Amino acid sequence: MEKEVTIYDIAKRLNYSPATVSRALNDHPAIKLDTKDLITSMAREMGYRSNTFASNLRRQRTNTIGVIVPRLNSSFVSSVLAGMEKVANEAGYNLIISQSLESVTKEKANTQTMFNSRVDGLLVSVAYDTEDIEHFTAFTNKGIPLLFFDRVIGNDQFTSIVIDNAKAGYEATAHLLKLGRRRVMHITGNLKRNVYADRLKGYKQALAEYGIPFDERLVQVTDLSQEVGVEVARQITRMPIRPDGLFVTNDLCAVSCMTTLKQTGLSIPDDVAVVGFNNDPVSQVVNPALTTIHYPGREMGEIAAKSLINHLNGLMDIQATNTIILRSELIIRGSSQK
């Protein structure tokens, strides 16, 4: 186990002061080029590595961005993270990532950890059951930038990056109605979450526009799991009057529902036309391919990270920019029409 090399060691070896070494290593303009070269090459030779903690402690800055997501293992989330990591990495930031597993309790704990880790900023997509935002006030109090994406909270108080979920919900539903479907069922998630509430809004708006009365029994709030998909399919087969359209706000759930419906002998899209959400890889692969809403996950991640970093570098004020809305898009495939 080698001894750690510090700027003092380099300084001593070269008969410079630690201050000069520090400056040289940080490419400070006031240092002669020769000196810089000398010092950097000696640093390399001696196997020096900068101590981020000492530096952070001193500079009160971490070059680290915290990310809290509901869960890591979803195709949507991983696209978002891939986008974030790319942008952050290029800008010299590290990402600390944690998952709330859809529980506020864990979300709170994670938030605390992030806070203690003194992340320069925080990117959050909230859990299923997050009610208030008290656990984030520590950040706002300290002026640490906080940016919500996808599952956002408190429309006005925080900057958020979203798609137009109402519009997406409207388009999905209107698409089914345009095809002549009149009994469109809607499977969605916890309505506390903007994404689901807004999509429901869009659903209702489309119905209204086509003069179809809203029927509460056709809307189901679930956890959008694959199991739910199976269950919903079972329910549908048992219904006296079956829906002829189905709008599920999650592709995996939609797919498992569709598959189960097919197994019970129903035909997709003839008996039930289906629209999903997210444009998950499975949506292209299922048969018939699933009509869905493309959700620009990677872009969302990139823009979220970029906005935060710009803000940190004083190039932009995310507090001023209240909401960034990305374009989603209806992708029509076989599950809704032949």
Minimum Å distance from CB 113 to DNA? 14
Strand order of the β-sheet with 245-248 is: 219-221, 184-188, 245-248, 273-275
Task: Decide if 92 contacts 311 (C-beta within 8 A).
Answer: no
Our CB check for a second copy shows the closer of 79 and 249 to be 79
User: For DNA, how many residues bind (rule: CB under 7 A)?
Assistant: 27
Interface pick for a second copy out of 75, 103, 157, 321 (rule CB under 8 A): 75
Minimum Å distance from CB 21 to a second copy? 16
Q: By CB under 7 A, what part of segment 1-30 binds DNA?
A: 4, 6-8, 15-20, 22-23, 25-26, 30
Determine the 3-state secondary structure of 283 from DSSP. Answer: helix
Q: By CB under 8 A, what part of segment 280-319 binds a second copy?
A: 280-282, 285-287, 298
Interface pick for a second copy out of 115, 220, 221, 299 (rule CB under 8 A): 115
Q: By CB under 7 A, what part of segment 44-63 binds DNA?
A: 48, 50-51, 54-55, 57-60
Alpha-carbon distances of 177 from 58, 137, 183, 212, 277, rounded to whole Å: 61, 44, 9, 9, 17
Q: What is the largest CA-CA distance in the chain?
A: 90
Q: By CB under 8 A, what part of segment 123-182 binds a second copy?
A: 138, 141-143
Decide: is 263 part of the binding site for a second copy (CB under 8 A). Answer: no
Of 238, 224, 324, the residue nearest 280 (C-alpha): 224
Instruction: Kindly state the tokens that stand for 229.
Output: 């998909």
94 binds, among a second copy, DNA, none (CB under 5 to 8 A by kind): a second copy
| 142 CB-side CA count, 13 A | 16
